[in-house]
């Protein structure tokens, strides 16, 4: 099977030839090219080449042309802070009060340089992928983006105390999210990862989520012209699995902090699981330890399809050694082959 065929079978809750493996690597491409993080993300061709080299080296099942979460705040006029050994982050919030929200306008995706770089990287990967390897585009959910636009405390106050302004902010963010997602699909992305950590039960109580992030997702995802996967970026989601399925998403990125077996039972037949290897702990794993984690995850969630092995955050930390990444690939090949009967003897 090609990687795309493998993933499509999994999403259909069938067993492919083996469990798909998504190594969601971003800044690692800078190391492959011998560039600083800032230099690497300065040009689309760097990111595309980095993704090509990473997949050539490890042989995993996707391209991941995600630049950094702050690229969307950058598009709204915000600053980006760079470090040498990790992902760029957002700087000072761009919104400080009600009038800023009332005046806020969504940037035009095709007229915003930091976003057109992303689109160009996707186009370059599309020309190489030949419909054999899925290309995963990324958007921040309209409900989670305000953490960077406003700051966490102000945003939580807005949700609880100023419903009209909250609705106004969602209107702008939803419009932007849909345009950006569809632009990535038009450029060649196979699917869109909809990062929505604020909707996770770790941050938002389920009853509040159902009045806020859930409604935002339902309005937004139906306007995206391709398949989506909702990622909680390490947050918990078991209490809201049924709600996530109703948003129209196809998969959910799940946390190492939850019971993978319980998630599999809850999602069976309606959502594919993506996860749940601990990216933070992964920095300290030995190759042997990495193999053990793969075996356990595959045995728990692999039967029947509907499971893509990946990290639990949606971005493998810069400090994870190449030897551990290689061990994940080799262990998936060893333990993830269907049928999974006799896994203990492998």
User: Is the confidence at residue 344, as pLDDT, over 80?
Assistant: no
CA nearest 209: which of 143, 139, 254? 143
Residue 166 pLDDT class (50, 70, 90 cuts): very high
* Other beta carbons less than 10 A from residue 141's beta carbon: 23
User: Any alpha helices (H) in the chain, and if so which ranges?
Assistant: 3-11, 28-33, 37-40, 44-58, 71-75, 98-103, 113-129, 146-150, 152-161, 163-187, 206-211, 213-221, 241-246, 260-267, 279-282, 287-301, 322-335
What tens digit of pLDDT does each residue of 238-269 get? 999 999 999 999 999 999 999 999 999 999 99
Report helix, strand or coil for 105: coil
Q: Are 265 and 243 contacting, i.e. CB atoms less than 8 angstroms apart?
A: no
Using one digit for the tens of pLDDT, what is the confidence trace for 291-342? 999 999 999 999 999 999 999 999 999 999 999 999 999 999 999 999 998 7
The answer to whether the bond into 126 is cis (omega within 30° of 0) is no
Whole-number average pLDDT of the chain = 97
In the predicted structure, residue 148 carries a pLDDT above the cut 90: yes
pTM across the whole model: 0.97
Reply yes or no on domain 3-337 having CATH 3.20.20.10.
Answer: no
Give pLDDT tens digits for 1-49.
999 999 999 999 999 999 999 999 999 999 999 999 999 999 999 999 9
Angle between helices 322-335 and 44-58 in degrees, nearest 10: 50
């Amino acid at each position: 099977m090609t990687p795309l065929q493998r993933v499509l079978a999994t999403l259909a809750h069938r067993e492919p030839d083996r469990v798909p493996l998504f190594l969601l690597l971003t800044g690692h491409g800078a190391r492959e090219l011998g560039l600083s993080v800032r230099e690497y993300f300065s040009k689309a061709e760097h990111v595309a080449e980095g993704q090509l080299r990473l997949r050539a080296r490890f042989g995993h099942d996707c391209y991941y042309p995600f630049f950094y979460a702050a690229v969307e705040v950058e598009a709204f006029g915000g600053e980006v802070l760079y470090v040498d050994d990790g992902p760029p982050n957002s700087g000072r919030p761009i919104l400080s009060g009600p009038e800023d929200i009332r005046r806020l306008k969504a940037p035009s995706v095709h007229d915003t340089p930091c976003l057109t770089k992303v689109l160009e990287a996707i186009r370059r990967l599309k020309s190489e992928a030949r419909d054999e390897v899925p290309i995963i585009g990324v958007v921040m959910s309209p409900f989670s983006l305000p953490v960077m636009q406003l700051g966490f405390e102000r945003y939580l106050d807005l949700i609880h105390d100023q419903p009209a302004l909250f609705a106004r902010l969602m209107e702008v963010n939803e419009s932007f999210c849909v345009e950006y997602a569809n632009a990535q699909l038009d450029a060649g992305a196979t699917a869109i990862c909809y990062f929505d950590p604020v909707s996770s039960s770790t941050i938002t109580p389920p009853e509040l989520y159902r009045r806020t992030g859930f409604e935002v997702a339902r309005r937004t995802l139906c306007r995206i012209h391709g398949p989506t996967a909702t990622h909680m970026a390490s947050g918990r989601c078991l209490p809201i699995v049924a709600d996530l399925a109703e948003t129209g998403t196809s998969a959910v990125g799940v946390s190492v902090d939850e019971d993978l077996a319980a998630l599999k039972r809850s999602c069976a037949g309606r959502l594919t699981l993506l996860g749940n290897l601990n990216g933070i702990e992964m920095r300290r794993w030995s190759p042997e330890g990495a193999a053990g984690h793969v075996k356990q995850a595959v045995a728990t969630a692999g039967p029947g399809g509907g499971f893509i092995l990946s990290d639990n955050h949606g971005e493998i930390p810069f400090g994870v050694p190449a030897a551990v990444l290689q061990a994940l690939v080799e262990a998936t090949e060893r333990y993830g082959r269907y049928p999974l009967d006799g896994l203990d003897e492998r």
